[in-house]
Amino acid sequence: MKQLTTATVFALLFASTACKSGNGSASAAAKVGPLAPIVDVAQVLEKGINDLASAKKPVAEAFTGFQAAARKGSLEQIKEAKAKKVIFIGMEFELMFYKAGKGAYYLRTMVHPSAKGPAFLNFAGRAPSDGKFYVKGKPFSAYTGAAAGLGKAAAEFVKALNAGKCDSVPVADPAPLKKLLPEGSRMTERMLKGLERSKANLKTHCEAAKAIGADKVELRIDDIAFATLGDDGKISGMIRADFEFDDGKVAVEIGGYRPMKK
């Protein structure tokens, strides 16, 4: 629940790049569908990470509207990567459904912007056996200022779930992934199967969330993924970041850089 799997991370990287018709970046994403407000947040994050990577601004000033900090050594790693450009890939988007004061369902997704609008790359969920969640969410209204789009998107997404409009939930198409991954590799097979499995499970989790009749839903935004691009325009590595709440405000914490293995 707390960390992205390696397969999911690389699926995010390649699936986002597969949207090449939209430049694969948050700045080229379409603002359509119930998740459209996420694009505004993604654009701020993408601009910020590029300003940081190019040393145009210090971390405290790079992400307009967000408090920001960096883990020890991460800025040095990012600068050493010498990325020509950094693109926003996506974020972990978690919903926690409550009923009569108890945790009733945990919905974990991965969402990223694309030329066709924000879409999910992963869709999983479960009901906690003891009525407790072991990660903490926040009310949609807690996402204010530069992060307001996250709360708005979550509210619209929940409306769609409660209305039973499972077919309208946007799920990323894994087909473009096949063009960018080596044929016959185990990693390729795992990622493609993971995306297909999420798509197949969408209706099950959508219906489960609706059936609860939740009286409270909270949102947690966790892992954020960025990809660095080299001179050839291809992915050379990734940068991880996290969202945290600091004195009631949403803060961005930049993590380390990891080069893409050949």
DSSP string, 52-77: HHTTSS-HHHHSTTSEEEE-TTHHHH
Across 129-133, 179-183, 190-194, the highest mean pLDDT is recorded for: 129-133
- Position 117 scores a pLDDT of 85
Which of 61-65, 66-70, 85-89, 243-247 shows the lowest per-residue confidence on average (mean pLDDT)? Answer: 243-247
Q: Tell me the domain boundaries of the chain.
A: 6-259
- Position 87 scores a pLDDT of 87
Residue 131 DSSP SS3: coil
What pLDDT digit, counting tens, does each position of 208-253 carry? 888 999 999 999 998 898 988 877 777 778 899 998 887 778 899 9
Using pLDDT thresholds of 50, 70 and 90, give the confidence band for residue 191.
low
Which of 80-89, 157-166, 170-179, 216-225 shows the lowest per-residue confidence on average (mean pLDDT)? Answer: 170-179
Which of 17-26, 73-82, 86-95 shows the lowest per-residue confidence on average (mean pLDDT)? Answer: 17-26
- Position 178 scores a pLDDT of 54
- Position 140 scores a pLDDT of 95
Is it the case that residue 143 has pLDDT exceeding 80? Answer: yes
- Position 12 scores a pLDDT of 45
254: nearest Cα among 87, 11, 56, 67: 67
- 237 pairs with which residues across the strands? 228, 259
Between CA 231 and CA 238 the distance in angstroms is: 15
Using pLDDT thresholds of 50, 70 and 90, give the confidence band for residue 98.
very high
- Position 24 scores a pLDDT of 57
